[in-house]
């Protein structure tokens, strides 16, 4: 979107509009106001307001956008780069704020064998030379490297990043050269160079957190990893020994993963695996089945995740554990799991792929949170400690005790159950505040929620995979957050509780639903528009309200957050996914200020919408006779976007589309805003 009211155009720089109590606010007060701003779009609008402050601000105050980020540390995916931010670095349309944008990511660095992803802000912007780089990603795509060797066309630049291809031959050592010592967090993805002294690894001297993904299976040598590390994540093709001293003593958090679908070594050549962990380790997470004959966990360990070792493995759980996550397979049920001596344990997660005996498990006495997904039976609800606050399990696991008339402890406030049958009335107690009910039956109408099933006092309710008809009248007025997912195929008229403030309705099946007037947040499925020849989606028009100014609303005026799940499509003719989303009804006929568009279980864009004037009063606004209506739309993490100028007089005739396309699943999305589907007249 490159329609931008550039602040530079205003030549009257001597007027300050920040007046309070008849006098101008001092700059230090305004700067303090800026520091308190959380939403970057508020900062942009603040700087739009006062030109004098804008120029003083740029010259005297090195401001940053707080939400802008090039690197996403939180994601578990191999690709840590935010696609929208990379795109924004190449073409940032809010021209007056370009320097602030680049300053906001000046502490981040990306080096890749794919030119598209390279970003070294400090080297390209001299005004940021004082900023120290603290986060970096070394990103290698072996498929791209092989395509370049085979002299493929330039179109291969847009090849999706595929990590860990067989026969990797790209050496990322040049990418690792000259990394600033100020880097504290580093991700190295798809390295084909083992962590040995001979391969010349040199990490930044101040490095604290490292995420390393290798495409080869080689032991790590002692002395390669820096002693400054506190958090380490290793991802390798198969299980590899950790020799004593390999992991620095400074590491307090260690995560070990295997590349999915890696080949298992079988036969007489299977190596014996040993693990030596740092003596002061606090957090250990092992995401694969362990084959080691012995595991010596440090006594300092507070949280542990692993697959339950077989009886042939000698190990003991540390007595200080606070959190424990276990995966139980066939080998793991060969010994009982007695946790009664772990008096410090508060959180326990057990997921079993095989049936386990009823006497297999004994719980710790002070447990507060339990997730138990296993094919087993519990004869009495006294099995659960009275300290338990949160429980998640299959109903069949506790069915026998419930049918005997037993009640869950009244200390429970969070309950999540998966059902294959009707829920008995009165079983769920009045202490429950958060309730999640999932139905896993394949029958159409065999399960229904009966009167009295949901107790008074439930505030957050989630019902998923419900196949019966209608919303039960037992859903009470105490509920303020409601998630509803139905699977029947009948067109229904649904009325949600009037007190609901946040609603998540994800069924893509026909339904007419009444939106509560108290709603502030709505997550739902985008509906297909009338033009079936285009993959055009938008907000449902089921809710229509006309106010005293004859303005028609598609959502209650209280709704400020909207999330739309959009079905994805593949066109076999051009091998391109594409779709269009109508934006103008959301702009004109709602008060939504935060919009999320999702497909294939990931965000396309998470954006803020700021209307730069009050549209509802523009007909009576004598100070603004313009025929246009300006709206600022920007992505939260990249500020990708700009100002869109729309007509005031006939908004219903001016359509605005968000065009989305990508070549393959995993590709970065290409996003443009247009007035005609499929065109790119507004970028």
Q: Mean pLDDT over residues 13-33, rounded?
A: 68
Q: pLDDT for 586-644, tens place per residue? A: 988 899 999 999 876 667 889 999 988 776 555 444 455 567 788 898 889 998 888 88
Q: pLDDT for 507-559, tens place per residue? A: 766 556 778 888 999 998 888 776 555 678 888 876 778 888 788 888 989 99
* Angle formed at CA 58 by CA 54 and CA 60, multiple of 5 degrees: 115
pLDDT at residue 50 tops 70: yes
Q: How many CA atoms lie within 13 A of 524 on its CB side?
A: 24
How far is Cα 622 from Cα 367, in angstroms, rounded to an integer? 65
The reported pLDDT for the residue numbered 649 is 64
Can you tell me whether residue 177 is helix, strand or coil?
coil
Can you tell me whether residue 104 is helix, strand or coil?
helix
Q: Mean pLDDT over residues 292-301, rounded?
A: 90
C-beta atoms surrounding 456 within 10 Å: 9
Of 402-416, 476-490, 559-573, where does the model show the most confidence? 402-416
How far is Cα 260 from Cα 666, in angstroms, rounded to an integer? 16
* Residue owning tokens 């507004």: 682
Supply the DSSP string of 219-242, one letter for each residue: PPPTTSS-TT-SEEEEEESS---B
Whole-Å CA distances, 281 to 232, 295, 432, 532: 11, 14, 36, 58
pLDDT at residue 58 tops 50: yes
- Which of 80-89, 175-184, 381-390 bottoms out in mean pLDDT, i.e. has the lowest? 80-89
pLDDT confidence band for 200 (50 / 70 / 90)? confident
C-beta atoms surrounding 205 within 10 Å: 13
The reported pLDDT for the residue numbered 548 is 82
* Residue owning tokens 């003593």: 249
Whole-Å CA distances, 112 to 140, 371, 578, 606, 638: 6, 41, 27, 26, 20
Q: What does the mean pLDDT of the chain come to?
A: 79
Strands 527-528, 536-538: pairing kind:
antiparallel
CB-count exposure of residue 637 (10 Å: 0-12, 13-18, 19+): buried
Whole-Å CA distances, 460 to 16, 453, 505: 47, 15, 14
Which pTM value belongs to this model?
Answer: 0.84
pLDDT confidence band for 119 (50 / 70 / 90)? confident
Element (H, E) at 464: strand 460-466
Burial annotation 337-349 (CB, 10 A radius, 16+ → b, else e) = bebeebeebbbbb
Can you tell me whether residue 135 is helix, strand or coil?
strand
User: Cβ distance 10 to 35 under 8 Å?
Assistant: no
How far is Cα 192 from Cα 217, in angstroms, rounded to an integer? 9
Query: Any residues with CB less than 8 A from the CB of 305 and at least 6 apart, and which?
Result: 284, 285, 286, 287, 324, 325, 326
Q: Mean pLDDT over residues 644-660, rounded?
A: 73
Tokens for 616, please give them. 């509802």
Query: Any residues with CB less than 8 A from the CB of 77 and at least 6 apart, and which?
Result: none
Element (H, E) at 90: helix 83-90
Q: Where are the beta strands (DSSP E) in 395-454?
A: 414-419, 434-439
pLDDT confidence band for 89 (50 / 70 / 90)? confident
Supply the DSSP string of 194-213, one letter for each residue: -SSGGGT----TT--EEEEE
Tokens for 332, please give them. 């793991």
Helices (H), 519-630: 584-588
The reported pLDDT for the residue numbered 510 is 54
The reported pLDDT for the residue numbered 544 is 75
Question: What's the CA dihedral at 154, 160, 162, 166 to 10 degrees?
Answer: -30
Residue 305 bridge partners (DSSP): 285, 325
How far is Cα 117 from Cα 115, in angstroms, rounded to an integer? 5
Question: What's the CA dihedral at 546, 548, 550, 555 to 10 degrees?
Answer: -30
Of 28-32, 235-239, 479-483, where does the model show the most confidence? 479-483
Burial annotation 473-484 (CB, 10 A radius, 16+ → b, else e) = eebeeebbbbbb
CB-count exposure of residue 544 (10 Å: 0-12, 13-18, 19+): exposed
- Which of 255-264, 348-357, 431-440, 559-568 bottoms out in mean pLDDT, i.e. has the lowest? 255-264
* Residue owning tokens 């994601």: 75
pLDDT at residue 650 tops 70: no
pLDDT confidence band for 25 (50 / 70 / 90)? confident
Q: Mean pLDDT over residues 371-394, rounded?
A: 94
Q: Mean pLDDT over residues 562-574, rounded?
A: 68
How far is Cα 563 from Cα 526, in angstroms, rounded to an integer? 9
The reported pLDDT for the residue numbered 665 is 53
- Which of 29-33, 67-71, 679-683 bottoms out in mean pLDDT, i.e. has the lowest? 679-683
C-beta atoms surrounding 189 within 10 Å: 25
Of 274-288, 420-434, 663-677, where does the model show the most confidence? 274-288
How far is Cα 188 from Cα 135, in angstroms, rounded to an integer? 11
Query: What is the gyration radius of the CA atoms in the chain, in angstroms?
Result: 29
Q: Mean pLDDT over residues 366-395, rounded?
A: 94
The reported pLDDT for the residue numbered 154 is 43
The reported pLDDT for the residue numbered 443 is 56
The reported pLDDT for the residue numbered 2 is 38
The reported pLDDT for the residue numbered 274 is 83
How far is Cα 302 from Cα 282, in angstroms, rounded to an integer? 5
- Which of 31-40, 179-188, 661-670 bottoms out in mean pLDDT, i.e. has the lowest? 661-670
């Amino acid at each position: 979107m490159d329609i931008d009211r550039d602040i530079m155009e205003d030549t009257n720089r001597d007027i300050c509009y920040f007046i309070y109590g008849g006098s101008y606010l001092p700059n230090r007060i305004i700067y303090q106001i800026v520091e308190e701003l959380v939403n970057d779009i508020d900062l942009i609008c603040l700087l739009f307001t006062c030109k004098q402050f804008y120029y003083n601000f740029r010259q005297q105050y090195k401001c940053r956008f707080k939400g802008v980020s090039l690197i996403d540390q939180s994601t578990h995916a191999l690709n840590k780069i935010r696609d929208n931010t990379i795109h924004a670095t190449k073409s940032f349309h809010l021209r007056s704020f370009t320097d602030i944008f680049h300053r906001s990511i000046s502490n981040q660095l990306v080096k890749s064998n794919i030119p598209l992803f390279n970003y070294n802000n400090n080297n390209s912007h001299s005004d940021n030379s004082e900023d120290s780089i603290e986060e970096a990603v070394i990103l290698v795509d072996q498929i791209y490297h092989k395509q370049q060797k085979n002299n493929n066309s330039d179109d291969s630049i847009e090849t999706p990043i595929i990590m860990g291809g067989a026969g990797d031959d790209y050496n990322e050592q040049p990418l690792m050269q000259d990394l600033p010592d100020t880097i504290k967090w580093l991700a190295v993805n798809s390295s084909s160079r083992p962590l040995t002294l001979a391969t010349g690894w040199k990490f930044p001297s101040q490095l604290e957190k490292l995420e390393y993904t290798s495409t080869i299976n080689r032991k790590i040598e002692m002395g390669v990893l820096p002693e400054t590390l506190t958090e380490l994540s290793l991802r390798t093709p198969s299980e590899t020994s950790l020799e004593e001293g390999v992991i620095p003593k400074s590491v307090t958090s260690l995560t070990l993963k295997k590349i999915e679908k890696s080949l298992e070594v079988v036969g007489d050549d299977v190596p014996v695996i040993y693990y030596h962990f740092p003596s002061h380790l606090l957090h250990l997470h092992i995401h694969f089945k362990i084959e080691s004959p012995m595991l010596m966990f440090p006594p300092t360990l507070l949280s542990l995740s692993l697959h339950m070792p077989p009886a042939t493995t000698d190990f003991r759980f540390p007595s200080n554990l606070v959190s424990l996550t276990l995966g139980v397979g066939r080998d793991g049920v060969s010994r009982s799991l007695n946790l009664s001596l772990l008096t410090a344990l508060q959180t326990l997660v057990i997921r079993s792929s095989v049936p386990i005996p009823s006497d297999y498990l004994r719980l710790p006495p002070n447990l507060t949170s339990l997730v138990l997904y296993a094919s087993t039976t519990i004869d009495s609800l006294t099995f659960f400690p009275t300290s338990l606050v949160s429980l998640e399990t299959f109903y069949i696991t506790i069915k026998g005790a419930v049918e005997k008339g037993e009640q869950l402890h009244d200390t429970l406030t969070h309950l999540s159950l998966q059902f294959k049958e009707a829920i008995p009335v009165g079983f769920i107690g009045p202490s429950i505040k958060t309730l999640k009910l999932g139905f896993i039956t394949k029958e159409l109408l065999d399960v229904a929620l009966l009167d009295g099933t949901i107790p008074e006092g439930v505030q957050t309710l989630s019902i998923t995979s419900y196949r019966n008809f209608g919303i039960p009248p037992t859903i009470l007025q105490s509920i303020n957050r409601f998630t509803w997912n139905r699977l029947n195929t009948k067109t229904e008229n649904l009325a949600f509780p009037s007190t609901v403030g946040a609603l998540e309705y994800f069924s893509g099946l026909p339904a007419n639903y009444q939106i509560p007037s108290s709603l502030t947040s709505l997550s739902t499925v985008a509906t297909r528009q009338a033009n079936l020849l285009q993959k055009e989606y938008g907000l449902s028009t089921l809710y229509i309200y006309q106010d005293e100014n004859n303005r028609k609303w598609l959502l209650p005026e209280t709704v400020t957050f909207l999330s739309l799940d959009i079905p994805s499509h593949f066109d076999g003719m051009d091998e391109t996914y594409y779709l269009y989303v109508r934006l103008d009804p959301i702009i004109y006929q709602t008060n939504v200020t935060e919009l999320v568009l999702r497909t294939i279980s990931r965000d396309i864009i998470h954006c803020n919408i700021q209307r730069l004037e009050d549209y509802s009063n523009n007909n009576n606004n004598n100070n603004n006779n313009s025929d246009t209506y300006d709206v600022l739309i920007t992505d939260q993490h990249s500020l990708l976007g700009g100002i869109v100028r729309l007509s005031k007089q006939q908004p219903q005739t001016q359509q605005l589309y968000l065009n989305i396309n990508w070549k393959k699943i995993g590709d970065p999305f290409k996003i443009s805003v247009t007035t005609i589907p499929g065109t790119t007249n507004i970028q």
